[in-house]
């Protein structure tokens, strides 16, 4: 393959592809953008790609650095690029006899809505259009291309009001009583071009540019300009894409899908992006161009016979209509999958029976499809199991673990559309993106209802639980974006008559207005009125297989934060290897117990407290016994009472009266005692082990309940649990020492009474900076540390989690913290405390058990950090256990 000598790449901006020339070395995405890199890649493996060239992302950066100017050297390079295309196609740019037409396409490193739309058919003007008509022998095609070009150029480069152009097209059709663009004759289109040119002059104040080079530079400038558009910026913010990346520009010879019945344009996936099934999947349109397929101008036709039959559609599939080209395309799909070793999303055009490839990229897919494709490809030998593990985004698993519609639940189906993105969602109908965002911020579940979506709706789609559109196919904007975001979506519900301004839609004689509850099922395409009951997901199949592979490579153990039997069972189903945090106070809020708890708190002396605690003992014992049985043979970490006592205090008269009745203490006295317990800063007040230090009987009786339960379960099942008794909020060695003595004494008493001895551990949470610093000393007493990263973040940053919402957003925006430190661990700061504590703890006690509990235990980035510093386990909420298992495996595989 011919290739330019790679001299100094630093001042080189144009890279040619196609026709046996490849300057790009098969695709550096950072330099050429994703689209450019893969065009070069496809051409290099011998696929039919129209020749072209890519202006690199480096030029975008330089363009902005130099205040929106192009250097002279770029003009020379672009001339070389155009000459390359001319050489291969045998046509000349601007030639009045047989003109070369090109497309100008934006292309960032990752595909990015919000960037400039593609301009097609560039190079047409009043004279070249005649040449094109002559040379092609098809005047209709020439004028169709010209009207498309003016409309696109006016919209995306000149940024004129596109409504006026669409209206002119509608009028042209109406005048003749036509429904379809394809019905318009050559003369109709010529008249439409005149109308379009007049519109340009009216709105822009200048005639439509006739110089083809002006057209080209205008389009190139517009691509670079769109990098800083509001839409692009919003998208970058949502997806953590740095502004410094820039976009590339691709200029490529046009091929024409609008040259009659043997021409077509289409989009395809090499596997089903919804289900992951290994079947070609896509849509195409005969005698059409560019994005006609996704724009919903005509109803697209299916690619394969099987898909057409399954959908019960009448229009011929590509497999039937163009069997030879279809076979060639199918071969290309397989070649691309083998080459890129991933499912591909492809754009192609057929010009008079000849296939041309215009784009390929790794296809966006649902979590379900990601799982299936990863497992299938590993089984097919296309990728390794390790790669399969890396292919699934742990956070996306969330989609699969959540409920789907209960098939037995009654449902009031009002319409049916395309199953564009799976999952079920219920919420209030809203008709614009801003309202969706506002209501979601106020905590409401909403379904965004649009005729069709566009990049301006992204924020609303993100905020909505589900998306419903009246227009657009399986590859429409709504469908693609929803799948990427993991939002359920039903698209193309043609029967919906939406009146967005009146905020309502009508369907089948019924009216749905803003605020009415809708349910959509993205797996079936059903739209229902009201909320529909849901069922738990299926955890076997591909999910089970991938999890098994992940378990095979991960080193970190994964436990669950769980205190109810239900949570414990869910956690085990999801593969938890024990309980990392059982918060005993959650057991106290139970209606039957709270009075005894209050009695304990309000008691005036130890005797009163003991009397109340004795009532709680059997209850706690049976709770623990149940948890130990569910977690048979696995470690269970039980945290002794932690929160400030006032959280349990009675507030209302009736509640005081209940406690008075139970204790015989009068209400006034109880109220006085409650007032005494008031704290100014309860999170730093009388809580955690401070309760145990001042009222040891509380921890003593809790410990007794734990050991009695453990002994009972050991004797009943023969499978002795391993209780890990955890003391919260320790700052000093002495605190832990005192509490350990209380716990050990309770254990000894129970073992002596029952004649059964058990193994158990006493350890502590590390959730205060002082504890992290003094971990070496604390490890002399404690057998394990569990990093309580919620409190450790609060105390290390001096930020109250409950009050942070007001300013944390700005902090993240300003880059003070990269992410919300309560969601993703502040690795630099809090992480350093954890690392230091782990090191000091291990130095004292080499076999000390180390883990984290708290929100961060289910966050992939935080889990990667836990792996890096060699903790023993992470503990996450039950639904996040699978996410943690996969994230732990990915972390272990990281070099
Ligand atoms: P996007 O990034 O929005 O997908 P593209 O640059 O891929 O935009 O262009 C959109 C569509 O325009 C393509 O799918 C293809 O159908 C059409 N297109 C782009 N370049 C050409 C070309 N050189 N010849 C024919 N059609 C083209
Ligand atoms: Mg586009
Ligand atoms: Mg494209």
79-130 pLDDT per residue, tens = 999 999 999 999 999 999 999 999 999 999 988 877 778 999 999 999 999 9
CA angle 651, 652, 655 (to 5 degrees): 95
Mean of the pLDDT values across residues 334-359? 97
Which residue among 48, 359, 362 is best mutated to probe the pocket of ligand 1, counting the most ligand atoms within 8 A of its Cβ?
359
Could you say which of 489, 568, 689, 853 is catalytic? 853
Strand partners, 418: 491
**Helices (H) then strands (E): counts for the chain:** 35, 34
* Closest Cα to atom 23 of ligand 1: 254
Name the DSSP class of 364: P
Q: Which of 820, 821, 842, 716 is nearest to 775 (CA)?
A: 842
Interhelix angle 733-754/696-717, nearest 10 degrees: 40
pLDDT band at 52 (very low <50, low <70, confident <90, very high): very high
Residue 300 CB contacts under 8 Å (≥ 6 apart), including other chains: 266, 283, 284, 285, 293, 473
Ligand 1 pocket check for 349: Cβ under 6 Å: yes
Handedness of CA 764, 765, 771, 775 (dihedral sign): positive
Cβ atoms of 837 and 731 within 8 Å: the answer is no
Name the DSSP class of 526: E
Ligand 1 atom nearest the C-alpha of 359 is: 7
Q: What is the pLDDT of residues 288-331, one digit of tens each?
A: 988 787 776 678 999 999 999 998 899 999 999 999 999 999 99
Q: Which of 250, 231, 214, 437 is nearest to 361 (CA)?
A: 250
pLDDT band at 469 (very low <50, low <70, confident <90, very high): very high
In terms of DSSP H, where are the helices of 755-859?
A: 769-773, 775-778, 789-797, 805-813, 830-844
* Closest Cα to atom 13 of ligand 1: 290
* Closest Cα to atom 15 of ligand 1: 290
Name the DSSP class of 641: P
d(CA 476, CA 490): 11
Which element (helix H / strand E) includes 169? helix 162-176
Q: What is the pLDDT of residue 2?
A: 44
d(CA 514, CA 448): 10
Ligand 1 atom nearest the C-alpha of 106 is: 6
Q: Which ligand is closest in space to the CA of residue 345?
A: 3
Q: What is the pLDDT of residues 19-48, one digit of tens each?
A: 999 997 656 899 999 999 999 999 999 999
Ligand 1 atom nearest the C-alpha of 348 is: 16
Ligand 1 atom nearest the C-alpha of 253 is: 23
Q: Which of 590, 575, 661 is nearest to 889 (CA)?
A: 575
CA atoms within 13 A on the CB side of 492: 24
Q: Is 477 labeled as catalytic in the residue annotation?
A: yes
Ligand 1 pocket check for 254: Cβ under 6 Å: yes
Q: Tell me the three state secondary structure of residue 821.
A: coil
State the DSSP string of 39-84.
HHHHHHTT-----EEEE-HHHHHHHHHTTS---HHHHHHHHHHHHH
Ligand 1 pocket check for 292: Cβ under 6 Å: no
Q: Which two tokens stand for residue 549?
A: 């592979």
**Residue that is written with structure tokens 């309580």 in the block:** 788
Distances (CA, A) of 740 to 377, 639, 748: 53, 13, 12
Mean of the pLDDT values across residues 660-682? 85
Residue 62 CB contacts under 8 Å (≥ 6 apart), including other chains: 13, 71
Which of 740-744, 761-765, 810-814, 824-828 is predicted least confidently? Answer: 810-814
How many whole angstroms from 106 Cα to the centroid of ligand 2? 9
Q: What is the pLDDT of residues 771-813, one digit of tens each?
A: 999 999 999 999 999 999 999 999 999 998 778 877 888 888 8
d(CA 562, CA 571): 8
Q: What is the pLDDT of residue 537?
A: 76
Distances (CA, A) of 386 to 247, 527, 544, 864: 32, 39, 15, 16
Ligand 1 pocket check for 359: Cβ under 6 Å: yes
Ligand 1 pocket check for 103: Cβ under 6 Å: yes
* Closest Cα to atom 20 of ligand 1: 103
How many whole angstroms from 336 Cα to the centroid of ligand 1? 18
Q: Which two tokens stand for residue 577?
A: 């290897």
How many whole angstroms from 102 Cα to the centroid of ligand 1? 11
Ligand 1 pocket check for 265: Cβ under 6 Å: yes
d(CA 541, CA 723): 34
Q: What is the pLDDT of residues 474-489, one digit of tens each?
A: 777 888 778 767 689 9
Which residue among 88, 227, 235, 290 is best mutated to probe the pocket of ligand 1, counting the most ligand atoms within 8 A of its Cβ?
290
Strand partners, 248: 107
Please state, as a whole number, how many other Cβ atoms lie within 10 Å of the Cβ of residue 69: 12
770 against 800, higher pLDDT? 770
Ligand 1 pocket check for 764: Cβ under 6 Å: no
Ligand 1 pocket check for 125: Cβ under 6 Å: no
In terms of DSSP H, where are the helices of 392-471?
A: 398-401, 433-441, 458-463
Q: Which ligand is closest in space to the CA of residue 53?
A: 1
HEC string of 478-501? HHHHHHHHCCCEEECCCCCEEECC
How many whole angstroms from 117 Cα to the centroid of ligand 2? 5
In the chain, % of residues over pLDDT 90: 69
Q: Is 853 labeled as catalytic in the residue annotation?
A: yes
Q: What is the pLDDT of residues 810-829, one digit of tens each?
A: 888 888 998 889 888 999 99
Which residues have CB less than 5 Å away from ligand 2 (the ion)? 117
Q: Which ligand is closest in space to the CA of residue 51?
A: 1
Q: What is the pLDDT of residue 8?
A: 45
Could you say which of 60, 84, 477, 568 is catalytic? 477
Cβ atoms of 60 and 224 within 8 Å: the answer is yes
Domains of the chain: 9-253 (3.30.1490.20), 264-362 (3.30.470.20), 402-535 (3.50.30.10), 554-578+767-895 (3.20.20.60), 584-730+749-761 (3.20.20.60)
* Closest Cα to atom 7 of ligand 1: 359
Q: Which ligand is closest in space to the CA of residue 357?
A: 1
Name the DSSP class of 158: S
d(CA 157, CA 225): 9
d(CA 410, CA 415): 15
Name the DSSP class of 406: -
User: Which conformational region is residue 633 in: left (phi greater than 0), alpha (psi within -120 to 50 degrees), or beta?
Assistant: left
HEC string of 128-172? HHHHHHHHHCCHHHHHHHHHHHHHHHHHHHCCCCHHHHHHHHHHH
Mean pLDDT of the chain: 91
d(CA 352, CA 354): 6
Q: Which two tokens stand for residue 247?
A: 């976009």
CA 426 to centroid of chain Cα atoms? 19
Q: Which ligand is closest in space to the CA of residue 120?
A: 1
Ligand 1 pocket check for 344: Cβ under 6 Å: no
Rg value, the chain, Cα: 33
User: Which conformational region is residue 260 in: left (phi greater than 0), alpha (psi within -120 to 50 degrees), or beta?
Assistant: left
Residue 439 CB contacts under 8 Å (≥ 6 apart), including other chains: 428, 430, 446, 463
Ligand 1 pocket check for 347: Cβ under 6 Å: yes
Distances (CA, A) of 207 to 12, 129, 131, 132, 154: 34, 17, 21, 21, 11
Ligand 1 pocket check for 358: Cβ under 6 Å: yes
Ligand 1 pocket check for 872: Cβ under 6 Å: no
Q: Which of 691, 689, 707 is nearest to 767 (CA)?
A: 689
d(CA 819, CA 828): 12
Q: Which of 10, 48, 42, 6 is nearest to 26 (CA)?
A: 42
Ligand 1 pocket check for 255: Cβ under 6 Å: yes
Q: Which two tokens stand for residue 289?
A: 């161009």
d(CA 625, CA 335): 58
Q: Would you say residue 270 has pLDDT above 90?
A: yes
Ligand 1 pocket check for 38: Cβ under 6 Å: no
For the chain, the helix, strand and coil percentages under 3-state DSSP, each to the nearest 5: 50, 20, 35
DSSP-derived pairing of the beta strands 52-55 and 557-561: unpaired
How many whole angstroms from 108 Cα to the centroid of ligand 1? 14
d(CA 5, CA 201): 46
Q: Which ligand is closest in space to the CA of residue 118?
A: 1
Ligand 1 atom nearest the C-alpha of 291 is: 11
């Amino acid at each position: 393959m011919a290739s330019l000598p790679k001299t100094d790449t630093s001042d080189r901006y144009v890279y040619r592809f196609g026709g046996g020339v490849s300057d790009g070395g098969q695709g550096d995405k950072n330099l050429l953008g994703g689209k450019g890199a893969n065009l070069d890649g496809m051409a290099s493996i011998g696929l039919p790609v129209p020749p072209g060239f890519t202006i690199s992302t480096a030029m975008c950066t330089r363009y902005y650095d130099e205040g929106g100017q192009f250097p002279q050297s770029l003009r020379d390079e672009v001339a070389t690029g155009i000459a390359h295309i001319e050489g291969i196609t045998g046509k000349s740019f601007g030639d009045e006899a047989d003109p070369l037409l090109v497309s100008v396409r934006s292309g960032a490193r990752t595909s990015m809505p919000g960037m400039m739309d593609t301009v097609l058919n560039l190079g047409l003007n009043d004279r070249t259009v005649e040449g094109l008509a002559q040379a092609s022998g098809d005047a209709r095609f020439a004028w169709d291309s010209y009207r498309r070009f003016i409309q696109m150029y006016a919209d995306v480069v000149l940024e004129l009001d596109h409504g006026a152009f669409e209206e002119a097209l509608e009028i042209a059709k109406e005048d003749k009583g036509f429904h379809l663009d394809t019905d318009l004759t050559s003369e109709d289109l010529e008249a439409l071009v005149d109308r379009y040119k007049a519109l340009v002059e009216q709105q822009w104040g200048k005639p439509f540019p006739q110089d083809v080079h002006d057209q080209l530079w205008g389009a190139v400038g517009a691509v670079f300009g769109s990098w800083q558009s509001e839409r692009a910026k919003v998208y970058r913010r949502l997806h953590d894409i740095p502004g410094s990346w820039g976009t590339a520009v691709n200029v490529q010879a046009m091929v024409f899908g609008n040259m009659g019945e043997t021409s077509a344009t289409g989009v395809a996936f090499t596997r089903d992006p919804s289900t992951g099934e290994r079947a070609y999947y896509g849509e195409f349109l005969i005698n059409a161009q560019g994005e006609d397929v996704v724009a919903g101008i005509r109803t697209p036709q299916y690619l394969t016979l099987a898909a057409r039959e399954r959908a019960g559609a009448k229009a011929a599939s590509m497999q039937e209509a163009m069997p030879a080209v279809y076979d060639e395309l199918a071969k290309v799909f397989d070649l691309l999958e083998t080459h890129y070793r991933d499912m591909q999303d492809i754009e192609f055009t057929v010009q008079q029976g000849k296939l041309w490839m215009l784009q390929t990229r790794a296809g966006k897919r649902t979590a379900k499809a990601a799982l299936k494709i990863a497992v299938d490809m590993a089984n097919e030998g296309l990728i390794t199991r390790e790669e399969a593990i890396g292919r699934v985004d742990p956070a996306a698993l969330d989609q699969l673990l959540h409920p789907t519609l209960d098939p037995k639940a009654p449902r009031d189906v009002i319409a049916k559309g395309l199953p564009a993105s799976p999952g079920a969602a219920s919420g209030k109908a809203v008709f614009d993106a801003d309202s969706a965002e506002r209501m979601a911020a106020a905590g409401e579940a909403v379904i965004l209802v649009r005729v069709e979506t566009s990049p301006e709706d992204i924020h609303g789609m993100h905020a909505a639980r589900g998306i419903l559109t009246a227009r657009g196919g399986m590859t429409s904007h709504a469908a693609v974006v929803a799948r990427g975001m993991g939002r359920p979506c039903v698209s193309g519900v043609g029967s919906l008559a939406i009146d967005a301004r009146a905020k309502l839609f009508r369907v089948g004689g019924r009216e749905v207005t803003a605020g009415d509850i809708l349910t959509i099922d993205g797996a079936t395409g059903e739209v229902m009125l009201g909320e529909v009951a849901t069922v738990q997901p299926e955890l076997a199949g591909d999910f089970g297989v991938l999890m098994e592979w992940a378990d095979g490579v991960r080193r970190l153990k994964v436990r669950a934060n769980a205190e109810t039997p239900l949570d414990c069972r869910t956690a085990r189903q999801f593969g938890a290897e024990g309980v990392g945090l059982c918060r005993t106070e959650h057991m106290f809020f139970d209606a039957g117990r709270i009075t005894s708890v209050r009695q304990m708190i309000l008691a005036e002396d130890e005797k009163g407290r003991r009397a109340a605690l004795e009532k709680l003992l059997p209850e706690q014992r049976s709770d623990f016994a149940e948890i130990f049985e569910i977690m048979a043979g696995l470690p269970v970490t039980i945290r002794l009472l932690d929160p400030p006592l006032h959280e349990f205090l009675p507030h209302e008269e009736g509640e005081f009266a209940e406690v008075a009745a139970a204790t015989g203490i009068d209400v006034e006295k109880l109220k006085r005692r409650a007032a005494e317990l008031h704290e100014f800063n309860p999170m730093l007040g009388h809580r955690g082990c401070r309760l145990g230090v001042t009222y040891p009987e509380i921890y003593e009786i809790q410990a007794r309940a734990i050991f009695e339960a453990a002994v009972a379960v050991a004797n009943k099942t023969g499978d002795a649990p391993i209780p890990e008794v955890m003391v919260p909020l320790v700052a000093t060695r002495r605190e832990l020492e005192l509490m350990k003595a209380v716990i050990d004494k309770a254990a000894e008493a129970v073992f002596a009474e029952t004649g059964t001895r058990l193994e158990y551990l006493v350890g502590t949470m590390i959730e205060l900076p002082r504890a992290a610093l003094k971990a070496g000393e604390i490890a002399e007493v404690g057998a394990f540390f569990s990093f309580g990263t919620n409190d450790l973040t609060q105390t290390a940053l001096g930020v109250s989690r409950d009050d942070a919402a007001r300013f944390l957003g700005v902090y993240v925006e300003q880059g003070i913290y990269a992410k919300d430190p309560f969601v993703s661990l502040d690795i630099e700061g809090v992480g350093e405390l954890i690392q230091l504590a782990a090191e000091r703890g291990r130095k004292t006690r080499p076999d000390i058990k180390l883990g984290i509990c708290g929100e961060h235990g289910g966050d992939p980035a935080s889990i990667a950090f836990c792996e890096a510093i060699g903790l023993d386990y992470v503990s996450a909420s039950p639904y996040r256990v699978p996410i943690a298992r996969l994230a732990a495996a990915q972390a272990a595989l990281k070099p």
